[in-house]
Structure 1
Amino acid sequence: MSIIEISATEANQMRLKKALIVDIRSPQEYLREHITHAINIPIEDLGNKTQLPKSENIIFYCKAGNRTKTNIHIFEKTFTQAYLLKGGIDAWKTNHLPTTQDKTQPIDIQRQVQITTGLLILIGLLLGYTISTWFFLISTGVGTGLVFAGISGYCGLAKVLMKAPWNTKYISIKN
């Protein structure tokens, strides 16, 4: 088995020679922006090789390269040879290589959760220092929710955000 990490420039040269490029991020991240002509197979679905078109050269990527490195055992178990894009789509864009963007798609849920929790914590702190110390409970509640999400793997805020109006387009595509 041979899993080789390659640069964005090398990946682009292989792409021009008809290599298959696979985005392992969530469908939502893929819809927002992906490498032009890449297909999307989320990492959790990658064990099913039957969804992959035939190709001698398969290049996998994520946002910054961390998910591909973290899941290298899946690539080793599933493929005899594969390439990992070092630095992910971030490195690809740094090299000014082509991507397909759809800014009408919402940012991914993880980032929405980070923005929302950060804002709620800041609001709780500001109101707690300026109006009443009772507002510190907002920050305490959000912090407790984050700890629970980290331990249990269940994030209630993410579930709520998935039902937000700006995410309904994504939900209808996925289902």
Structure 2
Amino acid sequence: MAEFIDPATLKRRLDDGTAMLIDIREADEFARERIPGARHVPLSAWERRDIAAEAGLLVVLTCRSGDRTRSHAQRLRMRCPTGMAVLDGGIEAWKRAGLPVTRDARAPLELMRQVQIAVGAMILAGLGLGWLVSPWFLALPAFAGAGLLVAGVTGFCGMARLLAAMPWNRRRPS
């Protein structure tokens, strides 16, 4: 079972230097919004590295809502030998507590949100065109549904791969 820490307590511990915050979200999510001072170690990289904190520091993990850290806490704890806690409610709880976040409005939307928008648009367009123009357009929402099914069963999302290659999702040279 994961130990939880509330936003106000975490803020105090970050301010007095007794905690280290690690954001486990993927790079696209972290680029758009994050808690100031958080280190970025995406969940996909946890199998390849151990997280060691300085003596006396509590390692606190966060994600958007706390669900990812909570569901992966057992696996993450094995990579963090110094012990760890989870920010209860994640960044959303941090913001509800009125605490500051760093935002970059120029960063693209998170990839999964882009997938949701694209698939939703495909479904609505296919239904509308199927009703107004030709029933053959109903193949579009069927295709979108099949893609979601494949993504859920296999973990491979072709739409995400396609969107990741789009110009707005490519890293800009700094």
The alignment's TM-score, normalised by the length of structure 2, stands at: 0.90
AA in 2 matched with 1:111: R
Match of 2:5 in 1: 6
Matched, 1:24 2:24: yes
The alignment partner of 1:84 has SS state of strand
Count of residues paired in the alignment: 170
Identity %: 33
Q: Deviations over 1:86-133 (max 9, x none)?
A: 100000011111111111111111111011001110110111111111
Match of 2:75 in 1: 74
Q: Is the 2:23–2:39 contact (alpha carbons within 8 Å) kept by the matching residues of 1? A: yes
Give the one of 146, 149, 169 matched to 2:148. 146
Contiguous gaps of at least 5 residues in structure 1: none
Q: Is the 1:3–1:75 contact (alpha carbons within 8 Å) kept by the matching residues of 2? A: no
AA in 2 matched with 1:118: G
The alignment's TM-score, normalised by the length of structure 1, stands at: 0.90
Q: Is the 1:3–1:81 contact (alpha carbons within 8 Å) kept by the matching residues of 2? A: no
- Mapped partners of 1:99, 1:77: distance in 2: 29
- Mapped partners of 2:76, 2:2: distance in 1: 7
Cα drift, residue 3 of structure 1: 4.0
Q: Is the 2:53–2:59 contact (alpha carbons within 8 Å) kept by the matching residues of 1? A: no
1:84-99 matches, within 5 Å, as 84-99=86-101
1:81-160 matches, within 5 Å, as 81-160=83-162
The alignment partner of 1:118 has SS state of helix
Greater per-residue helix proportion = 1
Q: Is the 1:8–1:92 contact (alpha carbons within 8 Å) kept by the matching residues of 2? A: yes
AA in 1 matched with 2:78: K
Q: Is the 2:33–2:102 contact (alpha carbons within 8 Å) kept by the matching residues of 1? A: yes
